[in-house]
């Protein structure tokens, strides 16, 4: 359903992308063919990506509109996928808000001052109101411009907006750097519940504003990535995190664009993910799609090709893709995708084989 609150020239509002295979599948309609795209920056395995990134850090690339747009477009040009995922990182809105964070090569996000108390949360930057021209709003201008450039080149291919889920953002901020078990974040939930609640409220607002900026600039769908939710029990997720994701997704619900909710290692959380306000749920490679469809029959599914199979012989890879397509066919709608991110060392020929196979046999 197209929303009247989008700008008149928006590709979802004016019909340019409304009937694209990706949008049709996510809305439970019959697409002209089974859509496929690659999650988590498919372009990073391409030689043209490495060439484009020479001389720039990850965050510099994300805040340079022309470069971010170019990198976003590369997988669409190379593979002919049915959607582009906006080139960004989960810490981009944190950086835009003024949080002391950088991406250390070979490490990941590193924070200058981890969040451990309610006072730490209260000291976080004020986000202000949308369109107020304040520090955060102005810092999102390069993101808006990158989206506009990208959408202008994509024409009828939808752009998917991107944001890290509130729990994943909060977990990084508490740990101060990547963690295997996110113990510090889980401890804060119980040791300092007021601080945890306040932090999730802040990250929810941040993620929601980031998604809204991308949609208003031209994105035709969004995906909320909860990279670390699988570390939580269902009870912890429901009590301490689900509300944050629901608020982030609700921030763009008025626009009518499809909203995908994805978490890794989270088969036990599928009902909770579905209840947080998404219109489709991404499923990682651990849970077969027909099982997922039995658990959440009313939503479209996305996934869930095992990234490890991209390195397998062609016949093995194609047999696996066919199994995913067969299982996905029982869902209300299915978008073929990886069940996690694209490995940086992936042979582009293998990724192309997947796209061609899905388009031919899906």
Active site residues: 40, 44, 53, 89, 172
- What is residue 280's DSSP assignment? E
Dihedral sign, CA of 55, 58, 60, 63?
positive
How far is 323 from 339, CA to CA, in rounded Å?
A: 13
300 membership: H or E segment, kind and range: strand 300-305
Angle, CA of 99, 100 and 102, to the nearest 5°: 115
H helices of 63-124, in order, are: 65-79, 92-97, 118-122
Phi/psi at 163 (nearest 5 deg)?
-155, 145
Sheet with strand 159-164: strands edge to edge: 84-85, 159-164, 221-226, 259-263, 280-282, 300-305, 334-338
And the tokens for 332? 């209300």
C-alpha Rg value of the chain to the nearest Å: 19
| 311 close to 350: Cβ distance less than 8 angstroms | yes
> Which two structure tokens, joined as six digits, stand for 90?
């989960």
The Cβ-side half-sphere exposure at 282, using a 13 Å CA radius, reads 27
Point out which residues pair with 71 in neighbouring strands. none
Q: Is the peptide bond before 304 cis (omega within 30 degrees of 0)?
A: yes
């Amino acid at each position: 359903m197209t929303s009247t609150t989008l700008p008149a020239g928006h590709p979802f509002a004016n019909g340019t992308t409304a009937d694209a295979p990706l949008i049709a599948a996510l809305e439970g309609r019959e697409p002209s063919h089974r859509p496929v795209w690659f999650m988590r920056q498919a372009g990073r395995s391409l030689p043209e990506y490495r060439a484009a990134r020479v001389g720039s850090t990850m965050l510099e690339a994300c805040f340079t509109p022309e470069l971010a747009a170019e990198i976003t477009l590369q997988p669409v040009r190379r593979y002919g996928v049915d959607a582009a995922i906006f080139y960004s990182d989960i810490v981009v809105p944190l950086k835009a808000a003024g949080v002391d964070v950088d991406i250390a090569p070979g490490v990941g996000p590193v924070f200058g001052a981890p969040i451990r108390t309610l006072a730490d949360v209260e000291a976080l930057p004020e986000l202000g109101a949308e369109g107020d021209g304040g520090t955060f709003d102005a810092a999102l201008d390069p993101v808006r411009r990158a989206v506009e450039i990208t959408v202008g080149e994509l024409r009828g291919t939808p752009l998917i907006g991107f944001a890290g889920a509130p729990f994943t953002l909060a977990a990084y901020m508490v740990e101060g750097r990547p963690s295997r078990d996110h113990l510090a974040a889980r401890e804060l939930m119980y040791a300092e519940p007021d601080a945890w609640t306040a932090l999730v409220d802040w990250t929810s607002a941040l993620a929601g504003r980031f998604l809204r900026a991308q949609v208003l600039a031209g994105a035709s769908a969004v995906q909320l990535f909860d990279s670390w939710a699988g570390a939580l029990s269902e009870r912890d997720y429901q009590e301490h995190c689900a509300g944050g994701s629901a608020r982030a997704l609700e921030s763009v619900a008025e626009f009518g664009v499809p909203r995908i909710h994805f978490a890794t290692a989270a088969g036990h959380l599928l009902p909770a993910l579905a209840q947080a306000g998404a219109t489709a749920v991404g499923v990682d490679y651990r849970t077969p799609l027909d099982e997922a469809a039995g658990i959440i029959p009313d939503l479209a599914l996305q996934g869930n090709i095992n990234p490890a199979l991209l390195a397998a012989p062609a016949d093995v890879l194609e047999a696996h893709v066919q199994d995913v397509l067969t299982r996905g066919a029982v869902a209300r709608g299915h978008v073929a995708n990886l069940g996690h991110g694209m490995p940086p060392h992936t042979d582009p020929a293998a990724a192309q084989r997947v796209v061609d196979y899905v388009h031919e046999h899906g």
